[in-house]
Structure 1
Amino acid sequence: MTLQQAPETVRVTAAVEERMVTPSLSVQGVVSGAPTREVRFEGSAGGAKQIVTSVAVAQDASIAFGDLLATVSGVPVFLLPEGVPLYRDLRHGDSGPDVSAFQSLLTRLGYLRGSATGTVDARTLTATGLWYKAYGQKLPESEGKPYVAVDHFAAATGEGTVRLGPTVGQRLEPGKPLFVLSAGQQAVTARFTVPEADAVKVGTAVTVRASGGASFAGTIASIGPFQSNEASKEQRAGHDVRVELSLQDAAAPKEASTVSVTVGGQGRRGPAVPLSAIRQGSQGTYVTRELEGENSSGTPPTRDVTVAVLAQEGGWASIETNPELPPGAKVIVG
């Protein structure tokens, strides 16, 4: 009878080295659009056609509360915060919370001095007239008396840049926004492995390259918590890193397109270990060091040592100096 001996597991080690490691890596990511806000315009309740007669803001232009957006059927349309509950025309002597909110807006825009009284008075109408005049418009009048027309305002939850706007001659459709605003920056989400995520930080500059060869500057905006790949073996485990693009123009990469995120930097000389020695566990990122001597099984004992990865290149990871990992110390790889 022949005894079959179990295959012996061979421990593979490598030495900690002093070497130059340049932090350069490239990770695949997916483009997502900037968050958006809709500018809602109800228009006249009289049933007249709502035709855009002029557009005051261009594509990609910034829009702030109080700005003139367009003229619709010959009347101006200004941007109003949704927090201003303007639901009626305001005439001299009218009072209510809508008047107080409108007066507070006039103060915020710099046209009205003093506190909100909640009652439309001469100074409220004068301030509104100055607002209109700043944009080459006139406050509407009824029987020779100026008033605030509710149909001259569109509302949005916040400010932003024009992502989609109307064209001159366009007929507005009920329920459709007058403008769509970008409320932030276009971004890319990329899954970084644990060593890759350890080598970067929020604020790190990156380069995003599209499939056509165009490149865009970006900045790491956030690094998410560790995600396993149990749900999808096609997705590697690691941290979802959000990169905000610096440019917002027609040449920006398309939403849902695949791009590469490249992180580069200056070389750093210091202790380094092979990337295959880097491990992740409940204690964080670590390497397993082989110690001198022998244990009961006849092999050298080991100890896990927590490390901070600073950079990686060519299969090597630069780590922070650690007295437990001097040059020449052996770490387990593979």
Structure 2
Amino acid sequence: MTRRRAVLVTGGTILVAVAVAAASLGFGGDQPPKPSGGPALATAPVTRATLTQTQQVNGTLGYGTPVRVSARENGTITALPVLGAVINRGESLYQVDNRPVSLFYGDRPLYRPIRSGDSGSDVTEVEQNLAALGYTGFTVDTKYTAATATAVSKWQKDHGITQTGVFEPAAAVIATGPVRVATVDMQPGDPANGQVLSYSGTTRVVQIPLDVTYQSMARQGSTATVTLPNGTVVPGTVATVGSVAVAGRLTEDPATIDLTVTVADQSKLGTLDRAPVTVSLVAATVENVLTVPVAALVALADGATGVQVVTDSTNHYVPVKLGMFASGRVQISGDGVTEGTLVGIPS
């Protein structure tokens, strides 16, 4: 079974293809075709194949939408990362008054000072990070105990922070994993208020403002192909599909939803960032169906569509039912049409 790449074909295109085929045989839809008594000038076998319709859309290859980071304490910015730097758990994202603001992993930002006696999901988040960084002597749970405070004091000492045992929310920035510095919005010496920098993920993805007309093609987990500016084609997967439509900037612009496509083999992307790419989304697929070249279709006198079946000494016309059009072929079914049957190709 071969897999074929395809483009969407409209009903109008189908009629044109059939009409052209009919004209090439010298008859119109109002006159019955007459067998010539001999084989067609050219023939093609009916084959089994997988047909796939796709829709090409434009996207941008990059590291995703940046997330803003604002300073949360008074002081002076004393150190900043370089643009494009990758920051991992426990590493300093920037410094205020020579105190590092570390990167912790989690799902929600810290919002309060945490001390002995406190409990909650933010306690769990801090304890998970401390444990991952090698600090011990406490149980990772929802309770901030004296043992947790002792571990926090050790962490504070290692980072040049006053040892209070209280974890201040300004001491860490929470992200879901390693981050890549997307912008640096301050410089050393600036007051620590406002946006300091922004970060993105460390893996490149394709972001697509998808016309809502094609929303049915955007299925999470479905395959896609990404064509890079140099013509290289790499496989991708639809990772996220937005649920809220965004109106176009101009009245005539279509509404769109946000679509993200991931690429597993990042090495094939070279050093591209913020690069325009073309993405082929799979619209529909049919497997193991009988197919013929679109050029084999003819218009029959009764308005039906058929093919010219060619044998060793004769040929005759057989009506067929049409299915998917893809990559210059069409799915057909009908009496007298089986795999290997030869059909005429009008010239």
1:1-334 to structure 2, matched below 5 A, reads 8-9=29-30, 16-17=44-45, 29-32=57-60, 33-45=62-74, 48=75, 50-55=76-81, 59=84, 61=86, 63-64=88-89, 66-80=90-104, 81=106, 83=108, 85-88=110-113, 90-91=114-115, 93-97=116-120, 98-99=122-123, 101-107=125-131, 110-112=134-136, 113-116=138-141, 118-121=143-146, 123-131=147-155, 137-141=159-163, 146-156=165-175, 158-166=176-184, 169=188, 171=190, 174-176=193-195, 178-182=197-201, 185-187=204-206, 202-203=222-223, 206=225, 208-210=227-229, 213=230, 215=232, 217-221=234-238, 244-245=262-263, 246-247=265-266, 251-252=271-272, 254=274, 257=276, 259=278, 272-275=291-294, 289-290=306-307, 302-304=319-321, 306=323, 312=327, 315-316=328-329, 324-328=337-341, 330=343
3-state SS, counterpart of residue 195 of structure 2: coil
Distance in structure 1 (CA, Å) of the matches to 2:183 and 2:45: 59
Aligned residues: 264
Name whichever structure is richer in helix by fraction.
2
3-state SS, counterpart of residue 112 of structure 2: coil
Shift of 1:208: 2.0
Distance in structure 2 (CA, Å) of the matches to 1:30 and 1:128: 48
Shift of 1:324: 4.7
Aligned-CA RMSD value: 5.6
**CA offset digits 1:15-50 (Å, max 9, x no partner):** 6526899x9x998542234433525343314xx3x3
TM-score by length of 2: 0.52
Classify 1:61/1:127 alpha carbon distance in 2 versus 1 (closer, same or farther; 3 Å). same
Shift of 1:171: 2.9
Distance in structure 1 (CA, Å) of the matches to 2:332 and 2:92: 56
3-state SS, counterpart of residue 128 of structure 1: helix
Classify 1:177/1:302 alpha carbon distance in 2 versus 1 (closer, same or farther; 3 Å). farther
Q: Which runs of 5+ in 2 are unaligned?
A: 1-27, 34-39, 242-252, 283-288, 298-303, 310-315
Shift of 1:114: 1.9
Q: Which runs of 5+ in 1 are unaligned?
A: 1-6, 225-234, 264-269, 279-286, 293-298
Classify 1:180/1:11 alpha carbon distance in 2 versus 1 (closer, same or farther; 3 Å). farther
3-state SS, counterpart of residue 320 of structure 2: strand
Distance in structure 2 (CA, Å) of the matches to 1:247 and 1:28: 21
**CA offset digits 1:57-95 (Å, max 9, x no partner):** 76152644x44322223111012435354412x45x453
Give % identity: 15
Distance in structure 2 (CA, Å) of the matches to 1:11 and 1:332: 18
Shift of 1:161: 3.3
Aligned partners of 2:205 and 2:260 also within 8 Å: no
